[in-house]
Amino acid sequence: MRVLFVNFSFDRKFHAGVSALSAYMKKHGHETDLIIYDSSYNEEKFKARIQAFDPGLVAVTAMTFQWQPSLQLMPMIKNATEAPIIVGGYHPTLYPEECIAAEHVDYICRGEGEESLLDLVDALESGSDPRPIPGLWLKTGSNGSTEITKNELRILNPTLDDFPDWDRDIFDFKSILRERGTGTLAHTRYTMPIGAGRGCPDICTYCSNSAMLKLYRGKGRYVRKRSPQQIIDEMKVLLDHYPIKFFEFWDERIAIFPQWIFEFCELYKKEIGIPWSADMRVERATPDILSAMKDAGCYMVWFGVEAGNEEYRKQSLKRFMKTSDIVEAFNNCRDVGLETLSLNMVGMPHETPELAKETIELNRILAPDVLLFFTYQAFPGTELGNMAITEGMAPKDSAYWYERPDTMLQQDCFPKETMIPLWEEWSELRDDLEAARRSRGSIAFEIDTLD
């Protein structure tokens, strides 16, 4: 069967979930294509692309900030094809009732989707009943009545090595590599994203991961890593096909299991060797782990700092690291020669301008090589987001976009007019740190300028 993936995108040209699903469909003999609906599309062009591929199923992926724009695409899809529509991703996983109720949605997939999607495609192709498929919710009925079947989540596959490497061919990846920031988190060219594992053990209140942990309770091991050798083998194939100068890991945390990271670093140093970067928690940023990563070619580590006030971090975000631990982690990175990236939020529930200022001041102390800051977004399904919505801080028509100060919450303790000077202060600090990094020099600049 032909499966057409549709992803509404503001600025990104690569989607790991679509890449994984497409690879799994191809592995089992199905044909796939992808439409990234961005500013270059209109209804006529969209319809023509759909009809040219002639899909048997259209698969739409949606995070919360993509849900409303994706809804607007569905009538266009139905005008172009009789193929059913399935929606997957974080939003239908956490808000299934809303998504299955949408007029043009025939199925939703909750949680990890490879096996559920394959079962659905096989059922549609053979004419068998899709209602028993784990992980799916679907509409059935006749004579004007609609019934909704709600299946349990599928048991997690404990062995990630069973899944194929991400499908990069469905994307225009050679073009993505030549641009900055369209396919990766880093703004370096020729950077290839890659995944070493799935799942995170943390319960941060602003992140959907805590909700996912609850959903998958009793459904198998949630935090899993691929074998180091399988990752190395994938990297070798990618290096043969693409002009790659950096690898960037998209795992929530690269060093969850110390034995795994030491084994991976040893293999990577011997068999790959080009620069790479990854995300980790400050608690794992010990000299032995960081030294092994540096020795294996890692050039940058990202840390979620998020808030500067230790008590606010603990009580509101359920991030229990001490401020002294954060400072030590950044110092440890400097000691072994690793660059650092600091991730931060501003405008969180019950945060005040004074608390936000503390986050800025902590980053002055940390002096990261790269500073990122985002307006807090009250995503439904997260503990903090649900609270903000319940307390009226986040209107239903909230603009879910995190790179603008005007999308902040409405709360008396943090008036919107105070955000602009804080945003300007963040921007000035970011620019100062960027200038200092350029003055020192960085392997990122040296390699990025090469053609």
Please say if the pLDDT value at position 396 is more than 70.
Answer: no
Q: What is the mean pLDDT of residues 202-217?
A: 92
Closest to 130 measured CA to CA, from 95, 113, 106: 106
Please say if the pLDDT value at position 430 is more than 70.
Answer: yes
How far is 278 from 320, CA to CA, in rounded Å?
Answer: 21
Q: What is the pLDDT of residue 146?
A: 85
Please say if the pLDDT value at position 61 is more than 70.
Answer: yes
Please say if the pLDDT value at position 152 is more than 70.
Answer: yes
Please say if the pLDDT value at position 234 is more than 60.
Answer: yes
Please say if the pLDDT value at position 450 is more than 90.
Answer: no
Identify the structural domains of the chain with CATH numbers, from first to last.
2-150 (3.40.50.280), 172-448 (3.20.20.70)
Q: At what angle do helices 287-295 and 323-336 cross, to 10 degrees?
A: 40
Reported confidence tier of residue 394, pLDDT bands at 50, 70, 90 = confident
pTM (2 decimals)? 0.92
Reported confidence tier of residue 12, pLDDT bands at 50, 70, 90 = confident
Q: What is the pLDDT of residue 144?
A: 61
Reported confidence tier of residue 188, pLDDT bands at 50, 70, 90 = confident
Reported confidence tier of residue 349, pLDDT bands at 50, 70, 90 = very high
Reported confidence tier of residue 351, pLDDT bands at 50, 70, 90 = very high
Reported confidence tier of residue 276, pLDDT bands at 50, 70, 90 = very high
Kindly state the tokens that stand for 192.
Answer: 């290839």
* Residue 424 burial (CB count, 10 A): 11
Q: What is the pLDDT of residue 402?
A: 72
Reported confidence tier of residue 164, pLDDT bands at 50, 70, 90 = very high
Q: Hey, is 64 helix, strand or coil?
A: helix
Q: What is the pLDDT of residue 176?
A: 86
Q: At what angle do helices 16-27 and 114-126 cross, to 10 degrees?
A: 50
